[in-house]
Homo-oligomer: A and B are copies of this chain.
Amino acid sequence: MNAISNPTRQRLISLVRLLEQLENTGKTKVSSAEIQNRTGWNRDTVRRDILALQANCGSAQGYEINALKQAIRKALNLNNAEKKCCIVGLGELGAALARHGSMEGSAFVVCAGFDSNVNRTETLVMPFALYPAIRMEQVISSEHIEYAILATDEKEARPMALRLYACGIRGIVNCTGTVLPSYGDVAVHNLSVLDALQNIASSQHNVIEEN
> Contact residues of A with B, CB < 8 Å?
1, 3-4, 6, 9-10, 13-15, 17-18, 21, 37-40, 76-78, 83, 85, 91-93, 95-97, 99-100, 102-103, 106-108, 147, 149, 154, 170-173, 175, 177-179, 181-183, 187-206, 209-210
A191 B193 Cβ-Cβ under 8 A:
yes
A12 to B: closest C-beta gap in Å: 9
Give the CA-CA distance A58 to B9 in the complex, in Å. Answer: 36
Give the CA-CA distance A1 to B205 in the complex, in Å. Answer: 13
A13 B199 Cβ-Cβ under 8 A:
yes
Q: What residues of B have a CB within 8 angstroms of the CB of A183 in the complex?
A: 40
B13 A147 Cβ-Cβ under 8 A:
no
State whether A203 and B6 are in contact (beta carbons under 8 Å apart), knowing that A93-B96, A190-B14, A193-B175 are contacts in the complex.
yes
Q: What residues of B have a CB within 8 angstroms of the CB of A100 in the complex?
A: 91-93
Give the CA-CA distance A179 to B173 in the complex, in Å. Answer: 19
From B1, B9, B196, B199, give the contact of A199 (CB < 8 A).
B9
28 of the cross-chain contacts (CB-CB < 8 Å) are: A3-B209, A9-B199, A9-B203, A10-B195, A13-B198, A14-B179, A17-B177, A17-B195, A21-B178, A38-B181, A40-B183, A85-B197, A92-B99, A96-B97, A102-B154, A102-B177, A106-B197, A106-B198, A107-B201, A108-B194, A147-B197, A170-B200, A170-B201, A171-B201, A175-B193, A187-B203, A189-B200, A191-B196
A198 to B: closest C-beta gap in Å: 5
Of A37, A103, A183, A201, most buried by chain B (CB within 10 Å of CB) is A201
Q: What residues of B have a CB within 8 angstroms of the CB of A99 in the complex?
A: 92
The 10 A-B pairs with the shortest beta carbon distances in the complex, nearest first, are A171-B200, A40-B181, A76-B202, A77-B205, A96-B96, A189-B196, A92-B96, A173-B196, A102-B177, A93-B96
